[in-house]
Structure 1
Amino acid sequence: MRITSLLAAAALLAVTVGAGQAQDKKTLAIVVKGLDNPFFEQINLGCQKWMSENKDSEYQCLYTGPASSADEAGEVQIVDDLLTKGVAAIAISPSNAPAMANRIRQIAPTVPVMTIDADFLEKDRDLRATYLGTDNYLMGVKMAEQAMALKPDGGTVCLQLGNVAADNINARAQGFRDTASGEKGIERLTGQNGWTEIDGCPVFTNDQADLANQQMADTFTANPDLDAFILIGGWAQFAPQAYAQVTDQVMDKLKSRDLIIIAGDTLPPQTQAFRDGRSHAQVGQRPFEMGYRAPDVMIQLINGEKVDDPLYTGLDVCNEEDPGFCANN
């Protein structure tokens, strides 16, 4: 457990919850995997937008998480602390789904628990009331469809994933493999429909942009004939300068489509990378919508209202033939 990230999160928690208590507002907490990830900042902006539109509400939206996305234990501790201190409801994006579910089962909170962005494993979904976010399996399907359109005969491929135990990322990888192979439950592509995962892949970034870019550079160097690199999440593109340097090494291949890059998410630096020809397709989530809708869903749960499960927020697909969302964002 990283002491620095716990201290940072604890400080944020103390300030925000204390302010809420001073105003006699009940707290609707959103806990993300890490405050260092710009994807989650969009969830925060949605939370803040809800706050600005609901100033007279008896509730406040609290956005928090460990300082680092690699601090799985820190996220569990923050959730533990929030539930101990007292919140009206909580929405969690679990970095380590089994570990987070195990702690929730131990605590057995009486307040509503939901997941956002990332879900618990199927066997633990009785612990939460609903999931709000992306249909992650479908996101993987869409990424595979883009790859197959660009490489109809398949090819060698490397998948870049996040944390080993992140349910949302693993669901995307499964959707990609199932669609590319034409079979269900494929653990690894070994030639189905022409697609083969290379040795050394998948690689796991632990949600770190610097590591993601280093992995890309190393993969390109070690595999000069690689046909496709799939960023199941957008980590490398979250550091645009480093990503530009990595893709500069293979720009000729990207332009000729000898090498294709498909990436998850459509944050501004990513759509710029797409427009610059540093990826061939982006499949984007809607994190702002997640953060904006989460407080209302939690209030519904508090009030005992029926809430659908899951609550999907949709996807935006950009490619060279139809830039769509990526053209102007």
Structure 2
Amino acid sequence: MAFNWPRGVLALALAMAAGTAMADDKKTLAIVVKGLDNPFFEQINLGCQKWQKENPDSGYTCLYTGPASSADEAGQVQVVDDLLTRGVGAIAISPSNAPAMGNLIKRRNPDIPVMTIDADFVEADRGMRTTYLGTDNYLMGVKMAEHAARLKPEGGTVCLQLGNVAADNINARAAGFRDTIAGAKGTDRLTGQGGWTEIDGCPVFTNDQVDLANQQMADTFTANPDLDAFILIGGWAQFAPQAYAQVTDQVMDKLKSGELLIIAGDTLPPQLEALKAGRSHVQVGQRPFEMGYRAPTVMIQLIEGKAVDDPLFTGLDECTQQNADSCLAQ
């Protein structure tokens, strides 16, 4: 009789099985993402696969893994712990809970080279890794703020949608947005600076769950009919295109008139389609494919003891309704 595994348990089991099969080889280059359920991270996987295809005789294998769910912070820590125990050549981590992951690396003090990718450790723990490869997340928040100020120079009411409370990359984006709007570093909340005020009940935290992200948007629009801007610091809601379309249907008139502004992170294909359809005004995109493609080369450099710059930024793409067909880096 066949046993039907719960979807999340099965995906985690498969991910861990992949790690078990490959991680005994010290030539394994492991990339550990926040969750296998997130299409953003699948772009990192595709970059990893391209590197593997182009370097068949390198002697190294690029392993893409992580917990089944992006909300499973403890599961990600366990995946990394297991990889360190089994032994890999090097490891690149996108920490979901930065303090928890930093504590693990500090406790294990591995001889294996460790870097971060996409998301970094908190500043106090950055000595635990050699380099960070990915987005300048503070700058990403700056760019979102610049577009908000350009489109609504008088400001207005705003709600920020964040991810996990302890995700360093998301928090850096929020800081970049608030500091730029306020014109002052260390702004914890917008209370009228630059004409912008964060509404009660915001920011909202998705815990990287796309269904929750869409529900939060719908609830915010319903409870705040005069809201001026909704800022998706990450692209979560847009990763479920049908649900996002239903949510934005209720405010399409406001979006088209510019009464309500939506700025979102990331530029995956469904997100650009949403932009072209007028369901957002700006998408500030990262380059996850490039992260996955470059990470194995950086890890080999670390294994060989070569000097590597820190950080290694992969750039941003700023897409608007006017340049949506040509905005992405070639």
TM-score per shorter chain, which class? over 0.9
Q: Corresponding residue for 1:14?
A: 17
Describe the superposition over 1:290-328 as per-residue Cα deviations: whole angstroms up to 9, x where unpaired. 000000000000000000000000000011343354589
- For 1:36 and 1:29, how far apart are their aligned partners in 2? 18
- Listed as ranges, the matches of 1:1-329 within 5 Å are 5=8, 8-15=11-18, 17-18=20-21, 26-323=27-324, 325=326
More displaced 10-residue stretch of structure 1: 10-19 or 107-116: 10-19
Letter paired with 2:242: Q
Unaligned runs of 5+ in 2: 1-5
Question: Using a 3 Å threshold, how does the CA distance of structure 1 residues 135 and 325 change in structure 2: closer, same or farther?
Answer: farther
Assess if the C-alpha contact under 8 Å between 2:22 and 2:28 holds in 1.
no
Work out the CA distance in 1 between the residues paired with 2:48 and 2:241.
26
Q: CA deviation at 1:57?
A: 1.4
Counterpart amino acid of residue 259 in structure 1? L
Distance in 2 (alpha carbons) for counterparts of 1:169 and 1:132:
15
Q: For residue 90 of structure 1, give the secondary structure of its aligned residue in structure 2.
A: strand
Secondary structure of residue in 2 paired with 1:185: coil
User: Any idea what the Cα deviations from partners look like across 1:142-166, whole Å, max 9, x if unmatched?
Assistant: 0001111110000000000000000
Q: Deviations over 1:10-65 (max 9, x none)?
A: 433334552576xx671100000000000000000000000101111111000000
Paired residues of 2:26 and 2:87 also in contact (CA < 8 A): no
Assess, with a 3 A threshold, how the Cα gap between structure 1 residues 15 and 96 changes in structure 2: closer, same or farther: closer
Q: TM-score, normalised by structure 1?
A: 0.95
Counterpart AA for 1:136: N
Q: Share of identical aligned residues, percent?
A: 77
Q: 1:176 aligns to what SS in structure 2? A: helix
Contact 1:317 1:324 in 2 (8 A): no
Change (3 A) 1:136 1:328: closer
Separation in 1, partners of 2:89, 2:197: 48
Structure 1 unaligned residues grouped into runs of 5+: none
Count of aligned pairs between the two proteins: 325
| Contact preservation (8 Å) 1:274, 1:326 | no
Conserved 8 A contact 1:9-1:64: no
The range that moved more, 49-58 or 233-242, is 49-58
Tell me, in whole angstroms, the C-alpha distance in 1 between the residues paired with 2:238 and 2:327: 14
Once the two structures are TM-superposed, the CA of residue 77 in structure 1 deviates from its matched residue by 0.3
Determine if contact 2:26/2:89 at 8 Å carries over to the other structure.
no
